[in-house]
Amino acid sequence: MMMYEVRIKAHFCAAHQVPLPTGTLEPLHGHDWEAEAVFRGPQLDASGILIDFTTAQKALRQVLVPLEHAVLNGSPFMAGLNPTAELVAKRIFQRLAEAMGHPATLAAVYVREAPGCVAGYTAESPQS
């Protein structure tokens, strides 16, 4: 099936300390993270728009507010989850889906922790 796609990005700075398989913690360190939300759908509205860029960017930026300059370990945003890039992407996806007026088109969220290091969380198909 052919789909339209819209992508938006926003940035935040946050630190984390990921527990390693050995049971030790990596050193506390920060990143300039980039979050990218992907919206997909087979149909456009009467204006030829899948989702309004401004509305989507505002929602993504609002979701990211609790992450700005936060230590992800123990942060309420992560609710006890290990602060890996994969789980940060999942939590952003969940919060953005709740915040959007058009959650049916949210298909994925990707986070770039560092150049060349991207993790994502995707829906099997757009939520309904």
Angstrom CA distances, 121 to 23, 25, 44, 94, 113, stand at 25, 24, 24, 10, 14
* Domains of the chain: residue spans and CATH: 4-122 (3.30.479.10)
Mean pLDDT (the chain, rounded): 92
Q: What is the mean pLDDT of residues 76-81?
A: 92
pTM of the model: 0.91
Residue 48 has pLDDT above 70, yes or no: yes
Q: How far is CA 42 from the centre of its chain?
A: 22
Residue 11: the pLDDT is 97
Q: From the CB of residue 43, how many other CB atoms can be counted at a distance below 10 Å?
A: 8
Q: Can you read off the two tokens belonging to residue 98?
A: 């709740």
Residue 126 has pLDDT above 50, yes or no: no
Rounded to 5 degrees, φ, ψ at 22 are -75, -10
Residue 63: the pLDDT is 98
